[in-house]
Structure 1
Amino acid sequence: MSNCYCGNLQSLENCCQPYIIGIKKTPTAEALMRSRYSAYATQNADYLVATTHSSTRKNHKKSDILEWSKCNQWIKLEVLATTETTVTFKAYYLDYQLKAQIHHEHSTFIFENGSWLYVDGSY
C-alpha cells in the first residue's frame, strides 16, 4: 500500500479519494487543496472543476485541466503554510519532457454552502 499523492501517510482510498468521488466533504481549505493535488495526480478534472468557485471557474477549462494533469508526472506535495482560508504549497512534478518542475502557489479558498472551494492562486 502506498501513501496518498497528497503526502499524508494514508492510502489514497483512506485519504483523498472519498473527497474526490463525493463520499465526504473536505473539512478544511488544506484538505481541499490536498485532494485537488491528488485529483491532478489521478486526472480527475471533474473534481477540479467542481471544487473551483463559480466566480473563477470560467478561467479554468476542463479540457485544459485534464491535459495539464495528464502531461505531467506528479511527484510530491509540500505544504508550506496554512490559514483558515489560504494554503501556500509547492507541487513537484516532471513535465512532458521529464524535466523537474516546481509549482509554488499561495491559494485562496472560500467556505460556501457547506463546502470548501478553490478561488484563485498567486505564484
Structure 2
Amino acid sequence: MHDYYRNMNCYCGSQQTYKQCCELIIKGINIAETPEQLMRSRYSAYAAMIPQYIYATYAESTRKSQSLNEITLWAQQTSWLKLTVLSSEHITIKQFTSQTKPVLPYVHFQALYFDSQHFCLMEEKSRFLIENDQWRYLDGDIIEHSNLPTPKRNAPCLCLSGKKFKHCCALFV
C-alpha cells in the first residue's frame, strides 16, 4: 500500500491516520479491544481491499459459509465512502469474558458505498463474540439497504462532508 494512503485519515472515520488506527489491527500489531474497533477495522479492510483480514475476522461458524473469492470480488467492485457508527456496546475482551451470562455485544452502523452502478446505504446491527481471545464478527441484522439517487454535481455530497458532490465522492466513482 502506498504511503499516501497510510498517512491519510483512516477509512473508519476516526480522525487518526490509517497507519495509527486500523492498519495496526489489520496487520496484527494490536488486537481489537472492543467490538467497535473490530468492526471499524473490518470496514477499513474492505475499503483498503484486504479480503484476507475480513475472512479471518469472521467467527468460525460464520466463516464456513463465506468465500475468500466472494469477499475479494465484493471489495474490488465497491468504493467505500463513509462509515457512521450509530451506537455500540463498549465492552472489552476482559469485561466480556468475566461476565457470568454474556450477552453478545453489538455495533449499530451505517455504511455509504458505491458498487460500480449505484450509491448505496446499508444500516446494520452486527453481533460479535470472542474466539481464541479475540473479537470475531458473528452476524448482523440488516435494518436498511437501499440504493440512493446520484446527486447532481453541485449538490451537497451524500457523505455529509460539507463539500459539493463533484469535489467529494464523485471523485471516487
Pairing partner for 1:2 from 1, 4, 8: 8
| Distance (whole Å) between structure 2 residues aligned to residue 2 and residue 44 of structure 1 | 17
Which residue identity is paired with 2:86? L
SS at 2:73 equivalent: helix
Tell me the C-alpha RMSD between the 2 structures. Answer: 1.0
| Distance (whole Å) between structure 1 residues aligned to residue 132 and residue 73 of structure 2 | 30
Alignment gaps of 5+ in structure 2: 1-6, 92-104, 143-173
Q: 1:111 — aligned with what? A: 130
| Distance (whole Å) between structure 1 residues aligned to residue 66 and residue 87 of structure 2 | 24
| Distance (whole Å) between structure 1 residues aligned to residue 48 and residue 32 of structure 2 | 18
Pairing partner for 2:139 from 110, 120, 123: 120
Alignment gaps of 5+ in structure 1: none
- Identity percentage over the alignment? 43
4+ residue segments displaced more than 6 Å: none
Which residue identity is paired with 1:113? N
More strand by share: 1
**Could you report, residue by residue, the CA deviation over 1:21-47 in whole angstroms, capped at 9, with x for unpaired residues?**
111111100000000000000111110
SS at 1:68 equivalent: helix
Q: 1:32 — aligned with what? A: 38
- Give the TM-score normalised by the residue count of structure 2: 0.68
- Give the TM-score normalised by the residue count of structure 1: 0.95
Aligned residue-pair number: 122
**Could you report, residue by residue, the CA deviation over 1:50-89 in whole angstroms, capped at 9, with x for unpaired residues?**
1100011112111111111110111000001112410010
Q: 1:91 — aligned with what? A: 111
Superposition deviation, residue 2 in structure 1: 2.3
| Distance (whole Å) between structure 2 residues aligned to residue 90 and residue 45 of structure 1 | 20
SS at 2:70 equivalent: helix
